[in-house]
Amino acid sequence: MNDNTISNLSVDCVIFGFDSEKLNVLLLERKLEAENGETVFCDHTLVGHHVRVGETLDESAARILEETTGLSNIYLEQFYTFGNPDRLKKPRAKLWLESIGRNPEERVISVGYFSLVNVNSVHVSYTERHASWFNLNEIEDLGFDHKEILNKALEALQTKIKTNPLAFELLPQKFTLSHLQKIYEVVLGIEIDKRNFRKKVSQVPYIVPLKEKQQKVSHKPAQLYMFSRDIFEATKKKDFNFSF
């Protein structure tokens, strides 16, 4: 363990990414090999690390995100703290911790953050453990207690996206209404009536239509829009409600 880190305090980041069709999560490969080179096990974990001495939790989460994706100033929100005494007691967790010189009996408290990025704008720079995107709906299990952390992060996102403009963090600067609707569908796990959705969008001033359409698409080009944070800040005294 690096002497500059706190051994029993860590941050785990659930990095959600939207690719125009589905909601993804950035995961790291966790591979343990025996001395003879044979693979003992191989699975995946969330992105996380121990907090450094003198570092705030927010600073730690931002550092982890930047080291993993190469991006800074990206949306991050603390959503839950995980401190079950048995959270590192799984057989694989014990083997992994022993292999890196950690005491598997030591209790570790982990603070969960979720982050929202547009997959197409992210260059994943963490190659040491093969970081890659996975379809949220295809993730069955993860190392440690990270599936529980992921589920809790999704619950937090589903609650917050209805009353805050988080969806725009997952989109490029210019987007179509179909892509915006798709985000709400994949995050909330529901189908939304197109007519009702567009009626709701037409009632908010901060989703601004542009005099531009899609380019280089095989179908009829759709109107492009942008989210105006200035207009949102000026009008946010009005309730933001994207419940369906």
Question: Each residue of 94-107: pLDDT tens digit?
Answer: 999 999 888 888 99
Tell me which H or E stretch contains 30: strand 23-33
CATH code, domain with 177: 1.10.10.10
Domain boundary among the residues 145, 160, 175 is at 160
Q: Give whole-number Cα distances, 115 to 24, 29, 67, 213, in Å.
A: 11, 19, 14, 29
Write the CB contacts of 5 (distance below 8 Å, at least 6 apart in sequence): 49, 50, 51, 52, 53
- State the chain's mean pLDDT as an integer: 90
Low-confidence winner among 40-54, 86-100, 123-137 (lowest mean pLDDT): 123-137
Cα distance from N-terminal residue to C-terminal residue, the chain: 47
In a domain, 244, yes or no: no
Domain boundary among the residues 116, 134, 160 is at 160
Residues 82 and 128 in one domain: yes
- What pLDDT is attached to residue 181? 96
User: Which residue type sits at 168?
Assistant: F
The number of distinct structural domains making up the chain is 2
Residues 141 and 194 in one domain: no
Residues 67 and 175 in one domain: no
Residues 138 and 179 in one domain: no
Residues 48 and 108 in one domain: yes
Residues 72 and 143 in one domain: yes
The model carries a pTM of: 0.91
Residues 34 and 79 in one domain: yes
Q: In the structure, what pLDDT confidence band is assigned to residue 174 with cuts at 50, 70 and 90?
A: very high
The 10 Å Cβ neighbour count of residue 28 is 21
What are 10-56's pLDDT values in tens digits?
Answer: 999 999 999 989 999 999 999 999 989 999 999 999 999 999 999 99
Cα separation, 44 vs 64, in Å, equals 17
Q: Tell which residue, 127, 150, 126, 129, has the closest CA to residue 23.
A: 150
Residues 104 and 214 in one domain: no
238 has a pLDDT exceeding 90: no
Write the CB contacts of 6 (distance below 8 Å, at least 6 apart in sequence): 50, 51, 52, 53
Residues 143 and 46 in one domain: yes
Residues 127 and 228 in one domain: no
In a domain, 242, yes or no: no
CB-CB contact of 136 with 22 (8 Å): yes
Boundaries of domain holding 25: 5-160
Residues 74 and 186 in one domain: no
Residues 149 and 204 in one domain: no
125 has a pLDDT exceeding 90: no
Domain boundary among the residues 132, 160, 188 is at 160
User: Which residue type sits at 78?
Assistant: Q
In a domain, 243, yes or no: no
Cα separation, 16 vs 5, in Å, equals 26
